[in-house]
A and B are shown apart, each in its own frame.
Chain A
């Protein structure tokens, strides 16, 4: 049935009909062939490797002309078995696994997991205040960096190239902060059960204040470029509509839910880590479309900056406070310091455990090799990640390794809404809708 003999791109007959492979440059021959079959509906595969699908997401579209009549998502291309792997590691080592699920918001994964472990241990009130403040500050910085990627890649997929560069420029500033405090730009494993791994280095607070100032100044670049931009609004207004009823029954949370007008934010409604002490607003929109979600993300950046400023003020007052829980049977023992050959165990700590205190040596050894024991039970703890409610269901059987770690990832549930948002719209609108859901495939597939 082919009119040409390209060995890579001939069509073939299957039980479902004819399958055409396209290699570009032969579009009109493809059209003539499809025309010959008199089929109005074409099934197109926007495969896992695609520049616009936000990661390894497979979209199977049934098209009639340019209108999408049916849309199905194929996920699982990034399934890593993190949840099963965590059952073979101690509770603290689980943090390093869990941090790589939603790789744009690693600190949220870590904090949700650690809050769950602390709930199981019963030490939620013993976590020092400085640790909670540092957690909040790092989470809000992470929210900024995650929204930057969401906005940048969303704009890139819709054709706006400059916002991508602007957003990644801001993101680099936030990653500098992460590197200063946690040591790594991404996937830091910084939040540990009981507190955080190490305190802020000296001279961090002025640098943080400076970063906040720079960010506030530079966010305006994106504002000026996109808000009110006719082309942007034409591509995003009225697209990807999902109202409140649809969102609640599909279990959608986060900016998508807030774009329907409901101000549901776990930081306000079920505060954790001391969020009740901070002044910030919950941003909503009432248009339930891509433009509304875009505005929510832009405005949440400013709210995050507000929270960070309040955190910095609190940290100044809490200078010298501990950052790990006082119970030596749980607290992560290693103190890290910058040595001559890079970051490693601080020499003071080594002097203590090798020279002075046998008990510290034993604690260090047992905690690092075996880990602490967590009483049996199950717990569900949730945080408000940039994408929605990230919940973790932890089951412990009393041992040093988790019995079951299950993450309720917001991206997984939010992605189910693609079909509801996109069926009946044009192909180009799918891109915008998926970008507005902002799925992170590492979180979807875990």
Chain B
């Protein structure tokens, strides 16, 4: 009933132009320092075309989609040659609709020397959620990878101690996956029951 779907929209809502999730790479020139970064990486890493699946420039940010087998190599080169000294953690995202690439791990990188930011993104299927660990490259990823494992079930190979960090140690399931319920309880107040947020009518 609510929500603009298709072209039944008359209120102007839904008039926002939606950029469809780009399934292809962005084209050169990327703009800003992104070209420099891409060129430096290609020069330092001859297997660039093989390892980097996609380069996306969106909303002023550069995302390199890397194959998981090459992740450690690319990261080492980014850290040593392109001087991205700091990795700001791992963010997991679960795209259940993206078959065979359901779990993404996003690593924002920061270069303090050049004052630049880029992002690495790795996609793995649900059936084989293994990603090589980047603890050897940036030690600060230790707890972040534990958190991504705890919340999404992505197993980081080579991590010194991959255990649950936020949930109790004997918890079952990975809470932030889309197929894990929010787990609320209905709230009763003066004769009415309000269902938990994931079961309410959605104005989507």
Contacts and interface: CB of A to CB of B under 8 A. Distances in A.
In the complex they form, whether A and B have CB atoms below 8 Å apart is answered with yes
Interface of A: 75-76, 79, 81, 83-85, 88-89, 119-120, 122, 248-253, 262, 264, 269-270, 329, 362, 366, 369-380, 382, 389, 391, 393, 395, 397-401, 403-404, 406, 408, 412-413, 415-416, 445-446
A76 B138 contact: no
A376 B13 contact: no
B11 A379 contact: no
A380 B119 contact: yes
Interface residues on B, range: 35 or more
A416 B91 contact: no
A393 B197 contact: no
B141 interface: yes
A416 B59 contact: no
B198 to A, nearest CB: 6
Contacts of A122: 59
A81 B11 CA distance: 35
Interface string B31-62: 00000000000000000000000000011110
B142 A329 contact: no
24 contacts: A76-B166, A79-B166, A83-B176, A84-B180, A119-B60, A249-B139, A251-B88, A251-B140, A252-B140, A370-B204, A373-B18, A375-B16, A375-B17, A376-B20, A379-B59, A391-B89, A393-B91, A399-B204, A400-B204, A408-B89, A412-B143, A413-B140, A416-B139, A446-B166
Contacts of B198: 88
Contacts of A379: 59, 61
A83 to B, nearest CB: 6
B182 interface: yes
Pairs of residues from A and B, 7 with the lowest C-beta to C-beta distance, nearest first? A251-B140, A406-B91, A370-B203, A76-B166, A250-B140, A88-B197, A79-B166
Contact of A380 (B15, B117, B147, B168): B117
Contact of A249 (B89, B140, B197): B140
Contacts of A408: 88-89, 91, 108
B102 to A, nearest CB: 13
Contacts, number: 141
Contact of B19 (A119, A373, A375): A375
B175 interface: yes
Contacts of A371: 203
B18 A398 contact: yes
B13 to A, nearest CB: 6
B16 A329 contact: yes
B63 interface: yes
Given A89-B197, A376-B20, A76 B167 contact: yes
